Amino acid sequence: MITGIFFNFIRANYVPAPYKADIAFVVNEDWNQSDLNLHHLVDIDFWFIVPIGHKYDGKEILLSDLVQEPFLLREEGSSTREILFSLCRVHGVTPPRVGLQFHGLNESIRSVIAGYGVMLAPSLAIQEHLNRKEVGRVKVKGVDIKRPVYLCSRKEDKELSPNIKNFLDLVKKYY
């Protein structure tokens, strides 16, 4: 019996096999892992952010205008990057030029704060930065991005440890 809790936040396009985590929080729209229990927790808004004082800070603009700015992008394979590029295809605009590319969300946000470009990020990750006026938000006409967050566990685990059960009860109560 496991006495602690091991969980992981993973990218939508990465599901570890043979599922080394007891539970995982996953942002993903499409599922084909029949060996997982899925519990939808919440839908997260994704927003465009810019350095504070940027010419688009607090404005509502067209996507075609925003993509003219240097973008901070996540790594290839990142679902956020794919959402941005899909958005450009749907709206018929050229994808943004890459200002910088990062493998981590926090590093990307810190670079926006430092003035290096524009980025698309989950609202949960940037809300406090907005509240502290470290970054500005840009609304894009006709764009509203929401992505589902799931709590996942292995179906093969017939019984979860008491710690994991308590943690899951707490998370489910909150969401």
pLDDT tens-digit series, residues 98-152 = 888 888 888 999 999 999 999 999 999 999 999 999 999 999 999 999 999 888 8
Give yes or no for residue 3 having a pLDDT over 60.
Answer: no
More confident residue, 39 or 17: 39
Residue 6 confidence (pLDDT): 43
pLDDT band for position 170 (cuts 50, 70, 90): confident
Residue 115 confidence (pLDDT): 94
More confident residue, 50 or 73: 50
Residue 4 confidence (pLDDT): 44
Task: Compute φ and ψ for 126, nearest 5 degrees.
Answer: -115, -10
Which of 136-149 are b and which e, b meaning 16 or more Cβ less than 10 Å from the residue's Cβ? bbbebeebebebbb
Give the separation between CA 26 and CA 38, rounded to whole angstroms.
10
Which of 75-86 are b and which e, b meaning 16 or more Cβ less than 10 Å from the residue's Cβ? eeebbbbebbee
More confident residue, 103 or 13: 103
Which of 20-31 are b and which e, b meaning 16 or more Cβ less than 10 Å from the residue's Cβ? ebbbbebbbeee
pLDDT band for position 17 (cuts 50, 70, 90): low
Give yes or no for residue 39 having a pLDDT over 90.
Answer: no
Q: Among 13, 46, 39, which Cα is nearest to 154's?
A: 39
The structure tokens listed for 52 are 């504070």
Give yes or no for residue 54 having a pLDDT over 70.
Answer: yes
Q: Provide the Cα torsion 122, 127, 136, 144; round to 10°.
A: 40
Residue 146 confidence (pLDDT): 95
Residue 19 confidence (pLDDT): 59
First vs last Cα of the chain: how many Å apart?
A: 27
Residue 5 confidence (pLDDT): 43
Given the DSSP bridges, would you call strands 23-27 and 7-10 parallel, antiparallel or unpaired? parallel
Residue 91 confidence (pLDDT): 94
Across the chain, mean pLDDT equals 84
